[in-house]
Structure 1
């Protein structure tokens, strides 16, 4: 009897976590996708001499609107919408399960939250990477013609020409693992540790702002730390500098190449656009 009750409790908990994470993720992606498009465009552009390059956050919004209109801000939105609910569901469900497993190991609560976050991020990355490959390819397309590739057609093109492996629909998997693993490790570790330090406020409004502020700070911190992985992912999954010649192959080699050729300044704009999208993730 108790085992049945435990099974029902586990199932109910899983459904609640999946629904909560999935619905929150869907709302977030609909609101934040324009910033994600801008982020991707900044990450894949190279060289300051190109007149088509975006020079600032405001300049990018103006150029996209003037050349591609509102549609330009929502290029590639279908892949994240399709994956966002299962992605959030996997993230929060895996985090809770890893946290329970770590309860059997003598780790401090702070370290346990960080390790559980790392595990949930790595699990999440495996699910989302094929969708990221399609999304980045669609977002990188600046073509203003009416005939834009559909999500399904573009995915079929990748599978037909490159396959399902690390050169095809799972291109950039290592960088995606690093991006999601590092982000979730820092985010969950920082969030739960700081939340336990700052006392709960009895006033519902002040308590909301307490959680909001901690979530915002957690998102900013995690995003700034994982930006190199995010930039590397976009470079690997996006168009290569010279057609037919693969320059960005592996995660850490891509980071080294970007640093040698462009330094750290090339990632300044990603810091602003990335944290805007991720800081409100909870």
Structure 2
């Protein structure tokens, strides 16, 4: 059953949402990161001519394990782990703030309030997370052994030294990151809160967890299906370019058009299966952990 929220100051709510969001992000990334790595590998490959082409999810798992070792599945995990606390804090805290402002206006139906608040939180989240995404994708795209890979700190310094914070540095792919997070969170929060309000709560704690988990899985899957073209564009822009020294993928919508023209419509959905496998249950895990930690803090503090 839901716990009634006590009257608290904005600072107290922010602290509770920061802790609950950080816990949600840490748990989700720790469990689901290997699927994020596989999603990135599928998105940066360009067809059967690619020397590192993967034919299926199982083929990708097998080749990575055989050529790079088990720890390769956790390449690039430190940036998202370091980013998840401020990222999820930003995500959930700003969603609540946008929701309150939009609801207070009284001009929008509640279903729109949830969706637009999700859009706002996603755009805000994207600004926070983009530098970490640039580092993560670079590390995930490397095909050397895990022990041979540069550290996250060394990779960040290298990017900063060569390109700074600009469109080829830690700001690379910002538009596609805005599109990815904005669209995903609009669907994710909008669908979750609207459907959660329609399906009644269950008195049985186990069935109530199952209700929330199922709605969370559906929210994550739907958001993933709708936003993946932006995700593919982000991976192409932030990942290795086809020809060293030449920048083919530079802008979000131009990259989507190029992928569509050269590789076909379904190329815009590369990595969809591992993305769904990650963000379906991953999205549910985030909501469950966030809500339970927030409820626990609300009761005990």
Instruction: Decide: shared fold, TM above 0.5.
Output: yes
Pairwise CA RMSD: 1.5
1:48 aligns with 2:62: no
Aligned to 1:71: 71
Rounded Cα–Cα distance in structure 1 between residues aligned with 2:268 and 2:257: 13
Aligned to 2:84: 84
Residues 52-79 of structure 1, C-alpha deviations (whole Å, 9 max, x = no match): 3111000000000001111210111110
Rounded Cα–Cα distance in structure 1 between residues aligned with 2:212 and 2:230: 27
1:37 aligns with 2:40: no
SS at match of 2:70: helix
Aligned to 2:19: 19
Aligned to 2:216: 215
SS at match of 1:182: helix
State which drifts further: 213-222 or 48-57. Answer: 48-57
State which drifts further: 190-199 or 225-234. Answer: 190-199
Query: Number of residues paired by the alignment?
Result: 277
Determine if contact 1:56/1:269 at 8 Å carries over to the other structure: no
Determine if contact 2:196/2:215 at 8 Å carries over to the other structure: yes
Rounded Cα–Cα distance in structure 1 between residues aligned with 2:278 and 2:131: 20
Structure-2 change in CA distance of 1:103 and 1:268 (3 Å): closer
Higher relative contact order (CA 8 A, sep 6+): 2
Aligned to 1:226: 227
What TM-score does the superposition give when structure 2 sets the normalisation length?
0.89
Aligned to 2:157: 156
Using the TM superposition, give the Cα deviation of residue 269 of structure 1 relative to its aligned residue in structure 2, in angstroms. 4.8
Gaps of 5+ in 2: 1-5, 288-301
Aligned to 2:191: 190
Residues 69-111 of structure 1, C-alpha deviations (whole Å, 9 max, x = no match): 1121011111001001110000000000001111222100000
Structure-2 change in CA distance of 1:66 and 1:107 (3 Å): same
Aligned to 1:272: 273
Determine if contact 2:159/2:170 at 8 Å carries over to the other structure: yes
SS at match of 2:108: coil
Gaps of 5+ in 1: none
Rounded Cα–Cα distance in structure 2 between residues aligned with 1:139 and 1:52: 13
Rounded Cα–Cα distance in structure 1 between residues aligned with 2:16 and 2:166: 34
Using the TM superposition, give the Cα deviation of residue 46 of structure 1 relative to its aligned residue in structure 2, in angstroms. 0.7
SS at match of 2:9: helix
Structure-2 change in CA distance of 1:162 and 1:179 (3 Å): same
Using the TM superposition, give the Cα deviation of residue 174 of structure 1 relative to its aligned residue in structure 2, in angstroms. 0.2
Determine if contact 2:232/2:270 at 8 Å carries over to the other structure: no
Rounded Cα–Cα distance in structure 2 between residues aligned with 1:273 and 1:151: 24
Rounded Cα–Cα distance in structure 1 between residues aligned with 2:51 and 2:164: 35
Rounded Cα–Cα distance in structure 2 between residues aligned with 1:88 and 1:73: 23
Using the TM superposition, give the Cα deviation of residue 147 of structure 1 relative to its aligned residue in structure 2, in angstroms. 2.9
Structure-2 change in CA distance of 1:173 and 1:145 (3 Å): closer
Rounded Cα–Cα distance in structure 1 between residues aligned with 2:52 and 2:65: 14
Aligned to 2:247: 246
Determine if contact 2:232/2:269 at 8 Å carries over to the other structure: no
Rounded Cα–Cα distance in structure 2 between residues aligned with 1:168 and 1:51: 27
Aligned to 1:102: 102
Aligned to 2:261: 260
Aligned to 2:60: 60
SS at match of 2:245: coil
Rounded Cα–Cα distance in structure 2 between residues aligned with 1:269 and 1:121: 22
Using the TM superposition, give the Cα deviation of residue 264 of structure 1 relative to its aligned residue in structure 2, in angstroms. 2.4
Rounded Cα–Cα distance in structure 2 between residues aligned with 1:33 and 1:194: 27
Using the TM superposition, give the Cα deviation of residue 125 of structure 1 relative to its aligned residue in structure 2, in angstroms. 0.2
